[in-house]
Chain A
Amino acid sequence: SQKIEQNSEALNIQEGKTATLTCNYTNYSPAYLQWYRQDPGRGPVFLLLIRENEKEKRKERLKVTFDTTLKQSLFHITASQPADSATYLCAHPLGRDDKIIFGKGTRLHILP
């Protein structure tokens, strides 16, 4: 079955450094991947989408890469700030359905 793997252990990064989060997917080749941010007590908030034919997508301090050979997406936050501390979720659609499945998420802590 389709599966998304994210390192669910917390990632601690010093403020100002680049945080890199990893998303690996198996048994499926999605047309795109999405990244969401989730704060405690809130629903996920959409950040970025990258399509299978795109190697890289940027939005302000965020950068996402998509390697279909490795079946992996990397999510980078440059010049990280304490306000970037949250859980980051990777997601992709299943087939032609609109529904998407999520990884467990990675908790990111930016240390001041």
Chain B
Amino acid sequence: GAGVSQSPRYKVAKRGQDVALRCDPISGHVSLFWYQQALGQGPEFLTYFQNEAQLDKSGLPSDRFFAERPEGSVSTLKIQRTQQEDSAVYLCASSSRTSQILYGYTFGSGTRLTVV
């Protein structure tokens, strides 16, 4: 596609509910990243894929967070038993190995998760 697409755009979850956030990266982009952005803060790294391999998940806040990219394209970030502190915007970005240096990451518009 022309850009990185994320869905849903907004999600309201009751505390304890499981949620799944979807990211469609730019076609052909090898690398895919998930970031969490709290209000007034910069994006915080969560996890990173190269094709279907999850190379780094050091930023995932707890074992309630899980990400996958089974076929090396679409990725899903799942949060189990959501807590109020999980409320944030979740950003997905993609890049090709060669374009990352010259053109940076391409971000989606994010999913705003509100846990009530």
Contact = CB atoms under 8 A, between A and B. Distances in A.
Interface of A: 4, 6, 8, 32, 34, 36, 41-46, 49, 89, 97-105
A105 B91 CA distance: 16
Interface residues of B, number: 29
B42 A102 contact: yes
Nearest to A41: B109
Interface stretch (B11-19, B65-73, B78-86, B96-104): B96-104
Nearest to B95: A98
Nearest to B55: A97
Given A41-B109, A46-B103, A99 B40 contact: no
A43 B91 contact: yes
Contact of B93 (A6, A43, A104): A43
Given A32-B101, A104-B41, A105-B42, A98 B107 contact: no
Contact of A102 (B43, B100, B106): B43
